[in-house]
Amino acid sequence: MSSLLGRNLRRVFGGLASALIVSGTVVPAQDEAIAFVGARILPVDGPVIENGTLVVRGGKIIAVGPASEVLLPAPSERRDCKGKTIIPGLVDTHSHIGSVSGGDRSGPIQPEVRALDAINPRDPGIQKAQAGGITTVNVMPGSGHLLSGQTIYLKLREPRTIDDLLIAGTDGQPMGGIKMANGTNPQKGPPFPGTRGRAAALMRAQLHRARHYQKKVAAAAGDPAKMPERSLGMEALVEVLEGKRMVHHHTHRQDDILTVLRLQREFGFRVVLHHVSEGWLVAEEIAAAKAPCSVIMIDSPGGKLEAARLSMATGRILDEAGVLVGFHSDDGITDSRLFLRSAALAVRAGMKRDKALAALTSAGAVMLDMADRVGTLTVGKDADLVVLSGDPFAVRTQVLETWVEGQKVFDLADPKDRLLAMGGYNASVDQSLSLCCYGQYGVAGQGVQAAGGAK
Amino acid sequence: MIRFAIHAAFGVAIGSALAAQGGGKSFAVRADIVHTMAGRAIEDGIVIVRDGKITAVGKAATIRLPAGIEQKRAKVLVPGLIDAHATVGLTGHLNIPHDQDQLDSTGPVQPELRAIDAYNAHDPLVNWLRSFGITTVHTGHAPRALVAGQTMVVKTHGRSVEKDVLRPFAMIACTLGDAGRAGRGDTGGKKPGTRAKSAAMLREALLAARAYAKKCDGDDAAPVELRHEAFAAALRREVPLLVTAHRAHDLMTTLRIAKEFELDVVLDGAAEAYLLLDEIKASKCTVLPHPAMARTRGELGNATMELPKLLVDAGIPIALQSGFESYVPKSRVVLFEAGVAVSKGLADERALAALTIGAARLLGVADRIGSLEVGKDADLAWFDGDPFEYTTNCLGVMIDGVEYPGERPLHTGR
């Protein structure tokens, strides 16, 4: 136990130090603990705690257990959560919030492009995601390229600038993966591939070039004179080859899924398979490759040929085959505010409830290499949590509060937040505007309050 | 008279097709709760059907079952659900040009395009919707043209339009606002480039139809103009205009034109209707609020998931819809949209009414469907729990006495 504590403490301080490097701002240390008392707690790393207490301080979880066993530290703010349910903050492994963009039309493979440089932190999608209980999110460029750029992992703190959202990795750099895609989305006119064979050939050729670059860098052994000419794209791909940067791979059809796994075997990168509409047809192969799957839940099959055999049972079938299963919103394909619903639909199609909740939390944390920080309500992990009015998979359950690192970022009782949660006038404009002038629904004949009331 | 006959002849053909179908087998569904939508829900109730019609509804303890009858058990039994506005059957599941027949872009005003000539009863999405208990859809031409074409009311048997249709010509689909001027004022001057032009073109088309109807009155030899025929039906208030509009000013334009021409209109989408509750209530229009999960982009930027609740609270009649989607999900499931509307404050019984008897009344088919009453069509859906709950399954479906599967284990719509 003591060594575990020590490791967690180092992680806390290590995390703070690197946060300094990335963001320049650090959440002020909270001396006062916050205790969520009397809730039904679903910690994900263990059994349900019916009458539980969760205590957070300094942005971390410092205690969780039955209310009768957890002593409240002094000083602490006591929040009565009787009748409410607390779950870990949700991890959305694939989203397009923040009006993110990636590569342009100039070519099919653009690893030098970073989502980091394209996100508008005042995009209402970010606050809508908070309203859905999402606390950690992988924001990705689209799937219209074989490789559309570097993705960025964000903590949904209250943002002024993108820096406020970044997550520092062990190297102090902002964490993120790389987005690849196959199937029909990246197929178009030259220089994009016209066929699946061409798509795979282009990607393999690029990875061979990256391998060559990697060898040249290694051979230089730190001698600047021997280093190859610097290439931003190659640097990113070397991170992929070295397993430092996870490949997040859009893929729908069963043969496209197998093509990803074939490339993965050849080049040894780490991969999360995304969407996997036909994953249920190749569950054994996916399990054998130990490739985690981030599944999309769409309300009907089709919309395009490769999603025509989409099944609501994909999550269940992959889980039963031994695959690590997560879900994603793909916002705006589905709405971040209804992210719990994705897992609930999987339960509808037979997935075990505990696996479905893990898919929204701990599994996503693994896919984003953040299992040591987020995804479960475990002492030492970030104080990312969601307070619900009831069962996470019940249609009438509301997200009441969302907390990131011990800070409340969403509160349904706050009219500003409620506007984002439900929608309404000015709920979809940049929050730099709407937060100054939200007004509940205008009264008929009177119109909505004019903008301007500073807030 | 000729003009009426065009649709009437089609209706007769359909009626005989249905009568020939059905079978004499009796069938019963017993459920812990039977929502008849004609009076209070029945606890431990049963519905018996024979020859495609409902023959008995009541407490299980009080109804004698015919010997040897097949009986299903469920937690909840409801009338077959009605999607009050969809494009299924016209917007095929593959979403490739040859299965998209919801919108012809050669002209902005084409009320003569009939839904019955465009509906593919065998599209997998028809089966898909049916597997969730949806037995009737109001479907047809989609938004995105000023006047896209006609809609119809059809059951989801998935056989053929002749066999399955209830009302071949239900409404005329129009769109105002940004979507209604898609194409943006082509140089030929055919497509409207602005909101004002859209309204002017719609008014001109209605005026032309009015003049045509006057000219044809008592003159059977007058040449048939299909375009004017359709609008003339609207001017006679035989069919309403289904006007898709989201912004408040576009909704007001809709009401203005409806008043000018004394038309019935159904407001479709209506994202900003919460700004105009008094005006809409005074107009007595029914509103088909956009799907609760509709994407809040563009003209739906001010949309709220609370819209169904806000409309009902204001005393405005509503029915619920799956609407039109250009990408995924290629068809929304109106039951799911209703579930989210319920989660955002719409009362359960109002939601269920909007999916059954309320929609049936709006669509002019309440004599046939929408409630579980003796003599009505045997259209049923039964569930293993609260139908609005995310984790509930539809166990089975019946249309005109024909049983269909509910949600299958693999659940791929095939």
Residue with tokens 């609260």: B386
* Rounded distance between C-alpha atoms, residue B230 and residue A449, angstroms: 42
Nearest-angstrom CA–CA distance, B22 and B15:
12
Give the CATH number of domain B81-369; options: 3.40.50.720, 3.30.460.80, 3.40.630.30, 3.20.20.140. Answer: 3.20.20.140
Residue-level pLDDT at B220: 85
DSSP, collapsed to helix, strand or coil, labels residue A395 as: coil
Residue B182 token pair = 């898609």
- A288-301 pLDDT, tens per residue? 999 999 999 999 99
Structure token digits, residue B56: 């008995």
pLDDT at B2 over 80: no
The C-alpha atoms of residue A217 and residue B270 are separated, in whole angstroms, by: 60
Q: Say yes or no: A79 and A215 in one domain.
A: no
Grouping H, G, I as helix, E, B as strand and the rest as coil, residue A436 is: helix
Closest Cβ opposite residue B391 in set A344, A396, A427: A344
Q: Provide the residue type at B271 as one letter.
A: A
pLDDT given for residue B411 in this prediction: 59
Nearest residue of chain A to residue B248 (CA atoms): A447
Q: Kindly state the tokens that stand for B23.
A: 């079978």
Per the listing, tokens 């937060």 go with A435
Yes or no, beta carbons of B343 and A344 under 8 Å apart: no
Q: Map residue B310 onto helix, strand or coil.
A: helix
**What is the nearest CA distance from A252 to chain B, expressed in angstroms?**
14
Strands B134-140 and B147-155: antiparallel
What span, in angstroms and rounded, lies between the C-alpha atoms of A114 and A236?
A: 10
pLDDT at A45 over 60: yes
d(CA B407, CA A299): 13
Of B277, B305, B325, the CB nearest to A444: B277
Task: Kindly identify which residue of chain B lies nearest to residue A390, measuring between CA atoms.
Answer: B343
User: Helix crossing, A232-241 with A196-220: angle to 10°?
Assistant: 90
Say whether both A292 and A230 belong to one domain.
yes
pLDDT confidence bin for B195, thresholds 50/70/90: very high
Q: Within a domain: residue A121?
A: yes
Chain B residue numbers with beta carbons less than 8 Å from the beta carbon of A300 are 93, 125, 128-129, 328-333, 413
> What are the φ and ψ backbone dihedral angles of B256, each rounded to 5 degrees?
-65, -45
Instruction: Assess contact for A104 and A117: CB atoms under 8 A.
Output: no
Q: In this structure, how many other beta carbons lie within 10 angstroms of the beta carbon of residue A75?
A: 8
For residue A177, the one-letter residue type is: G
DSSP A279: G
Interface touch B297/A298, C-beta < 8 Å: no
- Does residue B295 register a pLDDT over 50? yes
Task: Give the Cα separation of A233 and A249 in Å (integer).
Answer: 17
> Would the pLDDT of B363 be above 90?
yes
B189 pLDDT band (50/70/90 cuts)?
low
In this complex, the residue of A310, A396, A427 whose CB is nearest that of residue B296 is: A427
**Which residue on chain A is closest to B271 by alpha carbon?**
A424
Mean pLDDT of B131-144: 95
pLDDT in tens, A287-333: 999 999 999 999 999 999 999 999 999 999 999 999 999 999 999 99
- My answer on whether A327 and A243 are in the same domain is yes
Interface of B with A in 56-115 (CB under 8 A): 92-96
Assigned domain for A395 exists:
yes
* Token couple for B271: 């994202």
| Domain identity same for A144 and A291 | yes
The packing angle between helices B226-235 and B2-20, to 10°, is 80
Contacts with A345 from chain B: Cβ below 8 Å: 390
Domain presence at residue A309: yes
Confidence grade of residue A438 (pLDDT, cut at 50, 70, 90) = very low
Same domain, A49 and A197: no
Collapse the DSSP code of B381 into the 3-class scheme (helix H, G, I; strand E, B; otherwise coil) and give the result: strand
Specify the residue for token string 């190659």.
A234
pLDDT tens-digit map of A139-193: 999 999 999 999 999 999 999 999 999 999 999 999 999 999 999 999 999 999 9
Chain A contact present for B376, CB below 8 A = no
Mean confidence (pLDDT) of chain B: 92
* Residue A137 counted as domain residue: yes
> In 3-state terms, chain B is what percent helix, strand and coil (to 5)?
30, 25, 45
Helix (H, G, I), strand (E, B) or coil at B144: coil
Give the pLDDT confidence score for residue A433 in this predicted structure.
Answer: 44
**Minimal CA separation from B273 to chain A, in Å:** 10
What ipTM was estimated for this complex?
0.93
Q: How far apart are the CA of A203 and the nearest CA of chain B, in angstroms?
A: 27
- Residues A227, A152: one domain? yes
pLDDT in tens, B62-90: 999 998 999 999 999 999 999 999 999 99
The span from the CA of A436 to the CA of A430, in Å, is 11
Mean pLDDT on B365-377: 98
Provide the pLDDT for residue B8.
Answer: 41
CA distance A183 to A198: 11
Is the confidence at residue B23, as pLDDT, over 70?
A: no
**B411 touches A: beta carbon within 8 Å:** yes
Structure tokens at A80: 């009565």
B-chain CB neighbours of A311 within 8 Å are: 410-412
User: Exposure of A12 by Cβ count < 10 A (0-12 exposed, 13-18 middle, 19+ buried)?
Assistant: middle
Kindly tell me if the per-residue pLDDT of A445 is higher than 50: no
- 3-class SS string, chain B: CHHHHHHHHHHHHHHHHHHHCCCCCEEEEEEEEECCCCCCCEEEEEEEEECCEEEEEEEHHHCCCCCCCEEEEEEEEEECEEEEEECCCCECCCCCHHHECCCCCCCCECCCCCHHHCCCCCCHHHHHHHCCCEEEEEEECCCCCCEEEEEEEEECCCCCHHHHEEECCCCEEEECCCHHHCCCCCCCCCCCCCHHHHHHHHHHHHHHHHHHHHHHCCCCCCCCCHHHHHHHHHHCCCCCEEEEECCHHHHHHHHHHHHHHCCCEEEEECCCHHHCHHHHHHHCCEEEECCCCCCCCHHHCCCECCHHHHHHHCCCCECCCCECCCCCCCCCCHHHHHHHHHHCCCCHHHHHHHHCHHHHHHCCCCCCCCCCCCCCECCEEEECCCCCCCCCCEEEEEECCEEEECCCCCCCCC
Q: Which helix (H) or strand (E) holds B28?
A: strand B26-34
Position B126 scores a pLDDT of 97
Q: Is the pLDDT of residue A209 over 70?
A: yes
Which residues does chain A have within 8 Å of residue B388's beta carbon, measured at their own beta carbons?
395
Q: Specify whether the CB–CB gap between A143 and A186 falls below 8 A.
A: yes
What mean pLDDT comes out for the span B375-379? 98
Of B275, B328, B391, the CB nearest to A348: B391
Q: What CATH number did the domain enclosing A43 receive? A: 2.30.40.10
Question: DSSP 3-state assignment of B86?
Answer: strand
Residues A184 and A79 in one domain: no
Beta strand segments in A13-89, E: 33-41, 49-57, 60-66, 76-80, 85-88
Going by the DSSP 8-state scheme, the letter that residue A163 receives in this structure is: G
Q: Which residues of A317-330 are buried (b: 16+ CB within 10 A; e: fewer)?
A: bbbbbebbbbbbbb
d(CA B83, CA B381): 14
Query: A225-261: per-residue pLDDT in tens?
Result: 999 999 999 999 999 999 999 999 999 999 999 999 9
Q: Which residues on B lie below 8 Å from A338 (Cβ)? A: 293, 340
Q: Between B226-235 and B195-216, two packed helices, what is the crossing angle to 10 degrees?
A: 90
Q: Could you tell me if A218 and A355 lie in one domain? A: yes
pLDDT at B156: 98
Strand runs labelled E in B168-322: 172-175, 241-245, 265-269, 286-289
- State the pLDDT at residue B15: 39
Q: Return the DSSP state at A89.
A: P
Asked whether the bond before A292 is cis by omega within 30 degrees of 0, the reply is: no
Where residue B190 falls among pLDDT bands split at 50, 70, 90?
Answer: confident
* A179 and A273, same domain (yes or no): yes
Is residue A141 located within the same domain as residue A56? Answer: no
- Answer for the pair A125, A331: CB distance below 8 angstroms, yes or no: yes
Chain center to CA of A301: 24
CATH number for the domain spanning A198: value is 3.20.20.140
Residues A60 and A28 occupy one common structural domain? yes
Number of domains within chain A: 2
Q: Are residues A395 and B343, on separate chains, in Cβ contact within 8 Å?
A: yes
C-beta atoms of B93 and A301 within 8 A: yes
Distance (Å, whole) CA A212 – CA A51: 58
Percent of chain B with pLDDT over 70: 91
Asked if residue A94 and residue A59 are part of one domain, the reply reads: no
B410 to chain A, any CB pair closer than 8 A? The answer is: yes
In the predicted structure, residue B22 carries a pLDDT above the cut 60: no
Facing residue for A313 by CB, picked from B95, B125, B410: B410
The C-alpha of B72 sits at a distance from chain A's nearest C-alpha, in angstroms, of: 21
Angle at B298 between CA B337 and CA B275, to 5 degrees: 70
| Residue position matching structure tokens 């017993």 | B30
Chain A partners of B409 at a C-beta cutoff of 8 Å?
Answer: 313, 349-350
CA distance A236 to A274: 20
A313 Cα distance to chain centroid? 22
Instruction: Indicate the domain borders of chain B.
Output: 81-369
Contacts of A318 in chain B (CB under 8 A): none
Domain residues for A265?
90-367
State the CB neighbour count (10 A cutoff) for residue A151. Answer: 29
Residue A442 has pLDDT above 80, yes or no: no
Using the predicted structure, report yes or no on whether residue B305 has a pLDDT greater than 70: yes
DSSP state at residue A29: P
Does residue A455 sit within a domain? no
Minimum CA–CA partner of B385 in chain A: A348
- The band of A429, judged by pLDDT with boundaries at 50, 70 and 90, is confident
Residue A444 lies in a domain: no
Q: From the candidates A328, A395, A438, which should be mutated to test the interface with B, based on the most B CB atoms within 10 A?
A: A395
Residue A378 placed within a domain = no
pLDDT tier at B409 (50, 70, 90 boundaries)?
A: low
Percent of chain A at pLDDT > 70 equals 88
Q: What is the mean pLDDT of residues A357-362?
A: 98
Do residues A59 and A410 lie in contact, with contact meaning Cβ atoms separated by under 8 Å? no
Contact B21, B163 (CB under 8 A): yes
Closest to A127 (Cα-Cα) out of A432, A451, A368, A365: A432
Packing angle, helices B348-355 and B334-343, rounded to 10: 160
Cβ distance of A444 and B409 shorter than 8 Å: no
Tens digits of residue pLDDT in A65-113: 999 999 999 999 999 999 999 999 999 999 999 999 999 999 999 999 9
Residues of chain A contacting B296 with CB distance shorter than 8 Å: 335, 423, 427-428
Give the largest CA-CA distance in chain B: 72
- How many residues can be counted in chain B? 414
Strand A152-155 to strand A134-139: parallel, antiparallel, or no bridges (unpaired)?
Answer: antiparallel
Read off the DSSP letter of residue A73.
Answer: P
Asked if B278 reaches chain A (Cβ–Cβ under 8 Å), the answer is yes
Check whether A16 has a pLDDT greater than 80: no
Our CA-based measurement puts residue B334 at a distance from the nearest CA of chain A, in whole angstroms, of 10
Alpha-carbon dihedral of residues A88, A94, A95, A98, nearest 10 degrees?
Answer: 90
The helix-helix angle for A353-360 and A339-348 (nearest 10°) equals 150
Please, which residues bridge with residue A40 across strands?
A85
